[in-house]
Chains A and B, each alone.
Chain A
Amino acid sequence: MLARIANNLFWMGRYIERAEHTARFTNVNYFSSLDAPNKLSRDRQFVLKSLYEMVGEEDFEKDAVLVEEEVLYNVALNPEKHYSILQCITYARENANSSRDLISNEFYEAINTFYHSVVNYSKSHFVTRGLHDFTSHIIHQCSILKGKIRGTMLHDEIYALIKLGVNIERATQITRIIQIKYSDAEMVTSEKPKRLKKSFEWTTLLKCVDSFDINRRLYKKPPTKFTALEFLILNPNSPRTVLYCLNQIQMHITLLDPLKAHEKNTAAFIIGKMKCEYHYKTAEEFQDNVKEFITYTLDSLVEISEKLEEEYFYH
């Protein structure tokens, strides 16, 4: 497996996952704000800023009035914005192109068709009426891609590299969404801090990662700050939690090189260590310093990603 191609496969996985999360975050935040229970959550500026926060747009004045159509276009279809969903799909397909001799025809055909459907999507339709259609299309297509990866490819090192990308990106996206929704929740409840525990934003947070129904089934109650965070970070059985992703990351990196897990300071070693730490952590331990814990989680994920690049991709 060529190091350059390994890097491309890893990033292909990341971009597919990123496109899906960006699409869902946009969809959920926008639509749940329309009939939100409090004024600030209903405020369009509040939602649009949250979107920019999510994709990492830095090019706007914090107190500027955002234009909805512009924000939606940038997030979804602007080819000039590196974070747009269109760019994520374009990069993912470019990476697939560079490794199409290694991936299955079924998967390639799916990503190629997907790309053409996004590149030809009508901008005017999207920004005026098509938000739901477009974001649902992205989410649906990303599921198809992941189904094709799992269902048609050999579960070997090529697969492991894509899954590493998918899971590192998913863990990162979940953590970033928690970070943004946490600060949204704080803002909404800033005047009545006691309400933070039961803020409406926890429901939105869970919906952003497709975990609202499942969370309800598990806790049998409307989500609170505690149950939402405990679930999204520490539940080992839901595929949309940080701990689940860490388990997956460890499993797939071991597939790449089983011996490296025992060598200190390798990517495999660091992942193993982080996984164990989260496995035995309880939500009580971080409920008083959530923000610091989220930052720590994000930093650890970045460290793993950098270690992987250094170890496998730059020979």
Chain B
Amino acid sequence: MEPTNFKHLFSSYDSNENLFDEIFDKDQNVRQVYKKIFELYNGHSIDDFVNLNNKAKTFFFNQGITFQVYNDTKPKEKIFPFDLFPRIIDAEEWKTIERGVLQRCKALNAFIHDIYHDKNIIKAGLVPMELIGSSANYLTQMVDLDPVAGIYNHISGTDLIKHSDGKYYVLEDNIRCPSGVSYVIYNRNALKRSLFGVFNHYEIQPVVDYSENLLEMMESVKPKGVDVPTCVIITPGVFNSAYYEHSFLAKTMGIELVEGRDLLVENDFVYMKTINGLKKVDVIYRRIDDGFLDPLEFRKDSAIGVPGLFAAYKKGNVTLVNAPGTGVADDKAIYTYMPEIIKFYLGEKPILNNVHTYHCSRPTDLKYVLENIPNLVVKPVDEAGGYGISIGNKLTKAEVEAVKKVILENPRKYIAQPIMSLSVHATYIDECQSFEQRHVDLRTFTLLGRDKEFVLKGGLTRVALQKGNLIVNSSQGGGSKDTWVLKK
């Protein structure tokens, strides 16, 4: 007998035909890969789901899988909202994504090497010199420096969306300190615990192998002359918003999680202070920004860095992962040139699409942007976490004028893109106790080492929890989903 308050989970699912729905096709039929899971979930009552959803939340909270939100008083712990309906990517589609992100990461690596060495791409007239020279993330200290195995962006997070045309577009390349991978693994754990029966119906690629690949990659870029390298992660500390992830990675790799104050440099070698004295460190996965790495070389006020670290790096006595100065290439202004960059270094056609990008430092682009703000998304080139973004069709007239003014003050700092319609996915919404369409994106994680390439088969599907909202970042109240890549 059905419980009295039995209500199907999809009874209030309101579909919008103008958006690409990951689950339903244009005729409102469930897409092939989702058929089984849709059937299984639709058999659950709301009560089951509310219950399971609460259990998953408690699991995250008790395990302390939280991030810090900064406000006026003291940092607050929040869980990254998670819902129980996974996103499914079939094997064929994944193949394209995987090849595409690898291609981009390799091209970016070659690009970074080039702009710190011969600058061939600039000589060829493909990328303007001003763009590089004016980038806040370009480090003159890196010029002519050769990192181990020529790798700069060891760890990359590429953000993808699916547009209403059903194709994937790259939104951003994150090659400084991309975060979120720990949620990929914990989302999977939470879903396995809550709905274990569902897993019998699909063959899903595992995500649990990320840490072993990360450690293998780190070891592959050990400094010359080191036999068994000592690898560590450096974190700004427990109050950093991603501290949970830092400790998760250290734990799953079985390496030390250090802070700046735990390290010191002597004769250009890096050591950590242990209970048995000093121990040499060879490879550092740094989760602190360039500017804070070394107060002797970069920001003098950095209290979280290590004095002398850059000198040790320059001597080749320690490897930094990612290399300092990689940020120059995840500048959103460089993004504009990605198709040319891929062609120039790899001689290949880009596998993944770029969103057409207007860069306000170009007079014609600037003119177009100023005239079309209501149809564009305006983003600062160097901010992370979804900060500083203006979405044109959500602005009032006065706000449009304000955005124009800000752009005109510093055109180099802004890009604009057409408003892309991110695909939507059924997402469990607490307040309405049912599934509704919400916009999603996908962050993939790629590792590059010496003779090593790895793309995590899965990724972080981020969900914009507010109806109609396009911003998915956790710091802006976004949520996430388990992401399944099917084996065949």
Contact = CB atoms under 8 A, between A and B. Distances in A.
Is chain B a partner of chain A in the same complex?
yes
A121 interface: no
B275 A109 contact: no
**Chain A residues touching B, range:** 20 to 34
A17 B223 CA distance: 44
Interface stretch (B79-87, B155-163, B248-256): B248-256
A102 interface: yes
Contacts of A94: 238
A94 B247 CA distance: 13
B61 A100 contact: no
Nearest to B261: A4
A106 to B, nearest CB: 10
A109 B256 contact: no
B274 A315 contact: yes
A306 B288 CA distance: 34
B251 A3 contact: no
Interface string A128-161: 0000000000000000000000000000010000
Interface in B330-376: none
B464 interface: no
B272 interface: yes
Given A94-B238, A105-B63, A112-B63, A2 B274 contact: yes
A284 interface: no
A4 B259 CA distance: 9
B173 to A, nearest CB: 28
Contact of A101 (B62, B247, B275): B247
A113 interface: yes
Contacts of B247: 97, 100-101
Nearest to A98: B238
Contacts of B277: 315
A1 B64 contact: no
Given A109-B62, A116-B61, A101 B278 contact: no
Contacts, number: 60
Nearest to B277: A315
A100 B238 CA distance: 10
B214 to A, nearest CB: 14
B257 A101 contact: yes
B62 A112 contact: yes
Interface residues of B, number: 24
Contacts of A315: 273-275, 277-278
A245 interface: no
Contacts of A100: 64, 247, 251
B258 A2 contact: yes
Contacts of B251: 100-102
Contacts of B238: 94, 97-98
B258 to A, nearest CB: 6
Interface string A242-263: 0000000000000011000000
A202 interface: no
B275 A112 contact: no
B62 A2 contact: no
B274 A101 contact: no
Interface string B266-283: 000000111111100000
B289 interface: no
Nearest to B263: A2
B114 interface: no
B344 to A, nearest CB: 41
Contacts of B61: 116
Interface of A: 1-6, 94, 97-98, 100-102, 105, 108-109, 112-113, 116, 157, 256-257, 312-313, 315
6 closest A-B pairs by beta carbon, nearest first, are: A101-B251, A101-B250, A315-B273, A101-B247, A312-B275, A112-B64
Interface of B: 61-64, 238, 243, 246-248, 250-251, 256-259, 261-262, 272-278
28 contacts: A1-B274, A1-B276, A2-B258, A2-B262, A3-B273, A3-B274, A3-B275, A4-B261, A4-B262, A4-B273, A5-B262, A6-B275, A94-B238, A97-B64, A100-B247, A101-B246, A101-B247, A101-B251, A101-B257, A109-B62, A109-B63, A112-B63, A116-B61, A157-B275, A312-B275, A313-B275, A315-B274, A315-B277
